[in-house]
Amino acid sequence: MSEVAQLQLIALSIVGMGILILLFIKATFVRVTGFVFIVLGLFSLMSLAVPQMASLPPAEEKIDLASIKTPTDIAAIGQTVFFSKGQCALCHSIGPSESARCPDLKGIGAKLSKDFLYESLTDPQAFIYQDFRHGGAPKEYPATMPAINKDPIGLSKNEIMAVIAFLQQMSGEPISVSLKDLEIPGQAPSAPVKAAESALVADAQAN
């Protein structure tokens, strides 16, 4: 017996109990209790009659490697992931916004390397980058960045690389993500990149 069927049986039992109370009990308070049982039982039955929907993880964005001819094609897929399964736009803005719950991503593809971005998306707490070039203390944000390769978002490596390509494209930078960065079905996934510290050193040397 399914869980829904068990709950329906319990609701029917409650309704039946309420009916028996109304039929055989004369005490006013007890009869009111029986009426409440009937109402609650019927309400439960109506609620359980509504079709139940299973909560499933978002479907993976289908990336046909054969159809990808240029890095721009990868960025186009990344744009779709950014605004749909990735849920990035729920917290991040692309451009200044007072309502943003996380940092503005405008120009982020020009500030951080591909490897740095990958690590920031899959292990957000590995390295906290603070930009002190603006005036005053760094802005505090109400939301905490999750690891987007894990539940509940659960992006695949290919989806993450596509998002990085999109971030680079919207920053006006050459897209450094290529087909060789994507996983081919059937092949073992490559080891995760740890590049935050090296990227910081490179940034310091450039300045």
Give residue-wise pLDDT tens across range 172-192: 999 999 999 998 876 665 555
In a domain? residue 82? yes
- Residue 63's closest CA among 190, 150, 158, 179? 158
User: How many CB atoms lie under 10 A from the CB of residue 29?
Assistant: 8
**Is 0.75 surpassed by the pTM of this model?**
no
Mean pLDDT across the chain? 82
pLDDT digits (tens, 9 = 90+) for 24-63: 999 999 999 999 999 999 999 888 887 766 656 566 667 8
Total domains in the chain come to 2
* Domain CATH code at residue 104: 1.10.760.10
Query: Within this chain, do residues 175 and 76 fall inside the same structural domain, yes or no?
Result: yes
Quick one: 36 and 86 in the same domain? no
Residue pair 36/18 in contact (Cβ under 8 Å)? The answer is yes
**Averaged pLDDT, 125-142:** 64
Does residue 98 share a domain with residue 18?
no
Residues 167/88, Cβ–Cβ less than 8 Å = no
Burial class of residue 121, CB neighbours in 10 A (0-12, 13-18, 19+): buried
What residues make up the domain containing 127? 71-132+139-181
Q: Is 153 within a domain?
A: yes
Residue 200 resides in a domain: no
My answer on whether 29 and 96 are in the same domain is no
Residue 107 lies in a domain: yes
Mean pLDDT of 68-80: 94
Q: Which of 149, 145, 165 is nearest to 157 (CA)?
A: 149
Residue 56 lies in a domain: no
pLDDT above 90: residue 131: no
Residues 112 and 44 in one domain: no
Residue 97 is assigned to a structural domain of this protein: yes
